[in-house]
Amino acid sequence: MTTHIRNFCIIAHIDHGKSTLADRLLEHTGTVTRREMKDQLLDDLDLERQRGITIKARAVAMTFKRGNDTYQLNLIDTPGHVDFQYEVSRALACCEGALLLVDAFQGVEAQTVANAYAAIEHDLTIVPVINKIDLVHARPDEVAEEMMNSLGTDPEECVRVSAKTGIGIDGLLDAIIEQIPPPSGDPDAVLQAMVFDSNYDDYRGAITYVRIMQGTVRKGQKIQFARTGQSHEVVELGQFVPHRQGCEELSAGQVGYLICNIKSLGDVHIGDTVTILGDKAAPALPGYARPKRMVYCGLFPSDGQDFSELRDALERLSVNDPSFEFEPETSDALGFGFRCGFLGLLHMEIIQQRLENEADIDLVQTAPNVTYEIVDKRGETVTIHKPQDVPDPGDIEEFRQPIVRCSIIVPNEYIGAVMKLCQERRGIQRAHEVLGANRTMLTYHIPLAEVVYDLHDKIKSCTKGYGTLDYEMVGFEAADLCRLDIMVNGNRVDALAIVCHKADADRRGRAVAKKLKAEIAQHMFEVAVQAAIGSRVIARETVRAMRKNVTAKCYGGDISRKRKLLQKQKEGKKRMKAIGSVEISQKAFMAVLSDSE
């Protein structure tokens, strides 16, 4: 019966205790014994444990006895970082309710507000929860007031818990059962299930995570994916408790997994609909909005032999993380590789680390850049994912950059420092809201290129760790931008090209030229390292030639002997420069690319 099922997720800002609360719920419902219990039980990626953050949303089914009734509670634990917002949106589509978790000391943060509005858009019932009430400096009453001011929740309805010590967990379980509505859906209707995630197992093939919206799916049944039209037989199905546990059927309202011996990774699409074969198949569900990739960079194997291994590893990763994309590209300097699109810089870093750890491939990564739009002289709009594709300045009518709305929550004493920082990043202030006695939310429109590199770190630094940042895409606006090329010995180095504001071009060009000069080895001829905008050179550094003292053996005698030898050397160097090529080592690229400025 669906009346005894509750589907909910936990949403919160980073480090407000989502994974710890999930651990306590598993313990209190008896899903996991105290002996099996470990911290961050649902974070099963090595990277999640190393960094102490959640990267992938995880589903788990819990059984809870209350009086004479037995309830099935399906929890989806979600990430908190802004880069993994797409994971959160997928979790919200599978639930009827959300626990909105807020730290009893830090209070409402930028990501808390963003997640709360996302849950409201999905028509979810929100249960406000104040966590960490066991802290010495906890201020639950003030935080409840902040939640009322910024999110409109009733302070009386806030459930106060300590996920670490287990205080208030029983009251929270009661609130989940009483406040979150049971799923609507008829177990006897035609099968209609939403694919919200997938994973690849080397022995079982693709494992499809589904939320059953209508109907029932049974072992041995033939099913069809609405998007690809392909049919498969269900070999195994079950739920996560928290590890895979098989069962005979899953019916409306339940969350679980299907194994259909799918060996091809391209057959499972997240957001697809699982239904029955034939004319009576249920209509496809709306699925998910496509994620907007905002940061692009090139990934190249440092050893050219690893190209096919890198492609296989990227395909495997893209099965359970559809929010990044990749396509092959070639670079004169770095050989064959892939152009990859990510949701943000942390997302890029995580993917790169997963590739290095799970596939054991050594990578070279080009400087990350954001997506731009260009209107050319013919009036056509072109989307630019890499600086090398930017046309010459004479062909550009309008150069547009992506703008994001940044919500920054800071204690009042740091408002001046944050405003100065945002103005330096060409930000335009849009709003100024007071959240409580000592906290303010500033809203700015800032170019994305100024945000993704290090704005988050800079805000943390100038607010002593108390400031928080959340951003969302607004659109594209025209700006005074240019493509900055780096030339070595007169040849453009494609991997080092960047798009930047014209006012910053001189500074950045000089910095890269200086860095390259230090890294390029001396040759037998003089090597010019230049930064240029179009055909105009704006910075130059020179790597001196190796010189041999050819006049050392001339002691005494006529000066013309020395001149003759020096002239001969000069001609030799000129000839070498004409036919010589400059080798830029991998180390030199790494040194320049690792420095974002």
CATH number of the domain encompassing residue 377:
3.30.70.240
Can you give the pLDDT at residue 228? Answer: 75
pLDDT at 596: 45
Asked whether residue 301 falls in the same domain as residue 388, the answer is no
The response to whether 19 counts as a known ligand-binding position is yes
- Residue 35 identity (one-letter amino acid): R
- DSSP assigned state of 107: B
Tell me whether residue 12 is in a domain: yes
262 is annotated as contributing to ligand binding: no
The per-residue pLDDT for 5 is 86
In the structure encoding, which two tokens stand for residue 323, read together? 């929010």
Give domain status of residue 552, yes or no: yes
The answer to whether residues 361 and 421 belong to one domain is no
- Given 342, 368, 394, which residue is the final one in a domain? 368
17 annotated as a binding-site residue: yes
Residue 354 structural domain: 295-368
Q: How many distinct structural domains can be found in the chain?
A: 5
Tell me which range, 73-87, 346-360, 473-487, is most confidently predicted by mean pLDDT. 473-487
- 48 and 150 inside one domain: yes
Examine the domain organization and report whether 22 and 57 are in the same domain. Answer: yes
Please provide the average confidence, as pLDDT, over all residues in the chain.
80
Residues 340 and 383 in one domain: no
As a whole number, mean pLDDT of residues 524-546 equals: 84
Whichever domain contains 160, its CATH number is 3.40.50.300
Per-residue pLDDT, 490 = 79
Q: What is the rounded CA–CA span in Å between residue 218 and residue 230?
A: 18
CA–CA separation, 148 and 80 (whole Å): 21
The residue among 368, 394, 411 that closes a domain is 368
Phi, psi for residue 252 in degrees, rounded to 5 = -45, 135
499 within domain boundaries: no
Return the CATH number at 356. Answer: 3.30.70.870
**Inside any domain, residue 287:** no
- Over 80: is that where the pLDDT of 193 sits? yes
88 vs 352, which has greater pLDDT? 352
56 and 156 part of one domain: yes
Neighbours of 66 (CB within 10 A): 13
Between residues 583 and 293, the one the model is more confident about: 293
Q: Are residues 61 and 159 in the same domain?
A: yes
Assess whether 462 and 511 both reside in one domain.
no
User: Cβ contacts of residue 312 below 8 Å, gap of 6+?
Assistant: 359
The answer to whether 356 and 336 have CB atoms below 8 angstroms apart is no
Q: Which of 135, 155, 179 is the last residue of a domain?
A: 179
**CATH code for position 252:** 2.40.30.10
250 touches 237 (CB < 8 A): yes
- The answer to whether residue 579 sits within a structural domain is yes
28 annotated ligand binder:
no
How confident is the model over 158-180, as pLDDT tens digits? 889 888 888 888 888 888 888 88
Percent of the chain with pLDDT over 90: 1
Whether residue 498 lies inside any domain: the answer is no
Shared domain for 358 and 460, answered yes or no, is no
Q: Give the least confident one: 72-86, 343-357, 437-451, 524-538.
A: 72-86
Residue 134 labeled ligand binder: yes
Which pLDDT score, from 0 to 100, does residue 445 have?
92
d(CA 465, CA 304): 42
Q: Is residue 415 part of a domain?
A: yes
How far apart are alpha carbons 543 and 528 in whole angstroms? 6
Same domain for 425 and 344? Answer: no
Residue 186 lies in a domain: no
The Cα–Cα gap between 174 and 298 comes to 50
Same domain, 11 and 152: yes
pLDDT tens digits for range 207-249: 888 888 888 888 888 888 887 777 888 888 888 887 778 888 8
Known binding residue 515? Answer is no
Lowest mean pLDDT of 132-136, 297-301, 398-402, name the range.
297-301
- CA 584 to CA 489: how far, in whole Å? 11
Same domain, 25 and 63: yes
Dihedrals phi, psi of 224, to nearest 5 degrees: -135, 140
439 forms bridges with which residues in the sheet?
411
